[in-house]
């Protein structure tokens, strides 16, 4: 890379937790970052699940380099033992951090393509000497190209939820029934959303923390004055075993353990019926407009008014297709990282802290970080993402010793997703949410203020 390329910024895609932490670490290293965020504010994706509370405490979701940038502004760190909601995280930490970074963060800027200047993915000649060229569409529809010395893709996986089909493809009729299907945990404090589900039958598809939260929220709705008649059909691709609901009181993330127990109570107390070994093939319309979920083996469930699909998230790799990425064929994670995060073997806390070595690709100086680095694996912790970008920033600054050094000790988080909990490959897709951004619990029948955010 020549001197003129070295003077270019490091382009960071996404102003979420990992992207803004990357910018903070780069700034601390004297490297100019440019963060491009498609939304109108920092943490745009986080804000979409703002009603959901994290399993991790404030002390575990604030990056040290970011805190160092924030301190001179008079920013006060929230109570480290408290559990923030998504809205708390965005408003009390991510937006202040983005404000400190100032014009290093641009909103309404959607990255539609990344390549090497004058080189598609086929061309070898002088490839590493060329800067990256990043195609951007701005909020006003205008297009531009930005040159960068390196690219850190922290765009996450929120925009690409998994479909209904048991084969990983949309079920037959899924698109036609889109008006009755949601891929998000419902915010039942929103009047329109509450009306959508109150007193109605809903199918929830998935077996991870997001599905547990939806079960708990809808069971709580069923006990309220306006929710009489609310009922859930809970659809699982696998069976129910002793580990289905997590570790309970033995879970070292207490909020996650409590959530599993609440989901179990929803079933035990009759607010939800569990249907196991059900791999969805089709969604059909009944004569009255309700939806009928049909399995690959021909089973047909009773009609429901709504379907909530929580079958995991996937990385969007379309805009990095001209780059030479080395990705695991199963998880769509970097090949060196994939064995460390396989949800059939690892939980959030048993993933070894990793950095630039595990995140490098055949294409020099391009990195997928944060949730996107995990591909389809759900075992991600915010602290892991912060360690990733610390190592990458050190590497880009030429500090190889710091880049290779591990500066993070993860808590052992028990049964997040270790061997035995996931007993088939599809479990990774069903899990639905990472450990850092997974919801805390509520008590069925308790006042609304006790749950959600």
24 Rama sector, left if φ>0, alpha if ψ -120 to 50, beta otherwise: alpha
User: Averaged over 174-193, what is the pLDDT?
Assistant: 97
Q: Which residue from 77, 82, 121, 25 is spatially nearest to 389, judged by alpha carbons?
A: 25
Q: Examine residue 415 and state whether it is found in any structural domain, yes or no.
A: no
Is 255 in the same domain as 303?
A: yes
Q: Which residue from 441, 161, 142 is spatially nearest to 314, judged by alpha carbons?
A: 161
Q: Tell which wins on pLDDT, 381 or 243.
A: 381
The 10s digit of each residue's pLDDT in 326-371 is 999 999 999 999 999 887 775 555 667 799 999 999 999 999 999 9
Per-state percent for the chain, helix, strand, coil, to nearest 5: 30, 20, 50
The 10s digit of each residue's pLDDT in 10-62 is 999 999 999 999 999 999 999 999 999 999 999 999 999 999 999 889 999 99
With bands split at pLDDT 50, 70 and 90, how would you rate the model's confidence at 422? Answer: very low
Looking at the DSSP bridge assignments, the partners of residue 231 are 201
Question: Which residues neighbour 106 within 8 Å (Cβ) at sequence distance 6 or greater?
Answer: 34, 35, 36, 37
Q: What local confidence, expressed as pLDDT, does residue 449 receive? A: 32
Q: What is the 3-state secondary structure (H, E, C) of 25-49?
A: HHHHCCCCEEEEECCCCCCHHHHHC
Most confidently modeled range among 275-289, 401-415, 436-450: 275-289
Is 270 in the same domain as 300?
A: yes
Is 304 in the same domain as 318?
A: no
Q: Does an H or E element contain 358, and which?
A: helix 356-359
Question: Which residues neighbour 135 within 8 Å (Cβ) at sequence distance 6 or greater?
Answer: 111, 112, 113, 114, 143, 144, 145, 319
CATH code of residue 441: 3.50.50.60
pLDDT, the chain, mean: 87
Q: What local confidence, expressed as pLDDT, does residue 423 receive? A: 26
Is 24 in the same domain as 138?
A: yes
Looking at the DSSP bridge assignments, the partners of residue 284 are 292
How far apart CA 354 and CA 407 sit, in angstroms, is 9
Domain boundaries, position 374: 3-159+313-404
Q: Examine residue 46 and state whether it is found in any structural domain, yes or no.
A: yes
Query: Taking the complete model, does pTM exceed 0.85, yes or no?
Result: yes
Is 304 in the same domain as 328?
A: no
Strands 10-13 vs 33-37: parallel, antiparallel or unpaired:
parallel
The count of domains in the chain is 2
Is 89 in the same domain as 185?
A: no
Is 210 in the same domain as 300?
A: yes
């Amino acid at each position: 890379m020549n001197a003129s390329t070295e003077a270019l910024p490091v382009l960071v895609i996404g102003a979420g937790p990992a992207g803004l932490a990357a910018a903070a670490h780069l700034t601390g290293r004297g490297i100019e970052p440019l963060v491009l965020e498609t939304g109108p504010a920092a943490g745009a994706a986080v804000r979409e699940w703002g009603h959901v509370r994290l399993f991790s405490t404030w002390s575990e979701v604030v990056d040290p380099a970011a805190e160092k940038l924030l301190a001179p502004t008079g920013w006060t760190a929230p109570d480290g033992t408290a559990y923030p909601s998504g809205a708390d995280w965005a408003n009390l930490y991510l937006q202040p951090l983005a404000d400190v970074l100032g014009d290093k963060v641009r909103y309404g800027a959607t990255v539609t393509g990344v390549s090497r200047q004058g080189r598609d993915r086929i061309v070898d000649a002088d490839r590493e000497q060329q800067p990256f060229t990043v195609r951007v569409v701005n909020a006003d529809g205008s297009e531009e190209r930005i040159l960068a010395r390196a690219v850190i893709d922290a765009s996450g996986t929120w925009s690409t939820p998994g479909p209904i089909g048991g084969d990983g493809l949309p079920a037959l009729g899924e698109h036609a029934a889109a008006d009755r299907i949601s891929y998000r945990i419902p915010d039942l404090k929103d009047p329109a959303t509450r009306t959508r589900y109150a007193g109605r039958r809903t199918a929830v598809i998935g077996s991870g923390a997001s599905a547990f939260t939806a079960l708990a929220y809808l069971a709580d709705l069923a006990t309220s004055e306006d929710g009489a008649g609310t009922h859930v059909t809970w659809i699982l691709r696998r069976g129910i075993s002793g580990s289905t609901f997590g570790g309970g009181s033995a879970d070292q993330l207490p909020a996650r353990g409590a959530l599993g127990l609440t989901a179990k109570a929803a079933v035990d107390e009759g607010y939800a019926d569990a249907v196991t070994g059900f791999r969805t093939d089709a969604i059909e319309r009944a004569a009255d407009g309700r939806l009928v979920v049909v399995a690959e083996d021909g089973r047909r469930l009773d009609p429901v008014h709504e379907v909530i699909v929580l079958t995991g998230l996937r990385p969007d790799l379309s805009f990095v297709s001209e780059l030479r990425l080395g990705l695991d064929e199963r998880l769509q994670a970097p090949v060196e990282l994939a064995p460390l995060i396989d949800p059939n073997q690892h939980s959030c806390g048993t993933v070894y802290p990793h950095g630039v070595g595990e995140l490098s690709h055949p294409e020099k100086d391009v990195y997928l970080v944060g949730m996107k680095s995990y591909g389809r694996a759900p075992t991600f912790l915010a602290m892991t993402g912060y360690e990733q970008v610390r190592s990458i920033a050190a590497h880009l600054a030429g500090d190889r010793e710091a880049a290779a050094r591990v500066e993070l000790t993860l808590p052992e988080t028990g049964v997040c997703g270790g061997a035995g909990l996931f007993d088939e490959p599809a479990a990774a897709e069903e899990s639905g949410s990472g450990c850092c951004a997974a919801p805390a619990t509520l008590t069925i029948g308790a006042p609304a203020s006790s749950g959600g955010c």
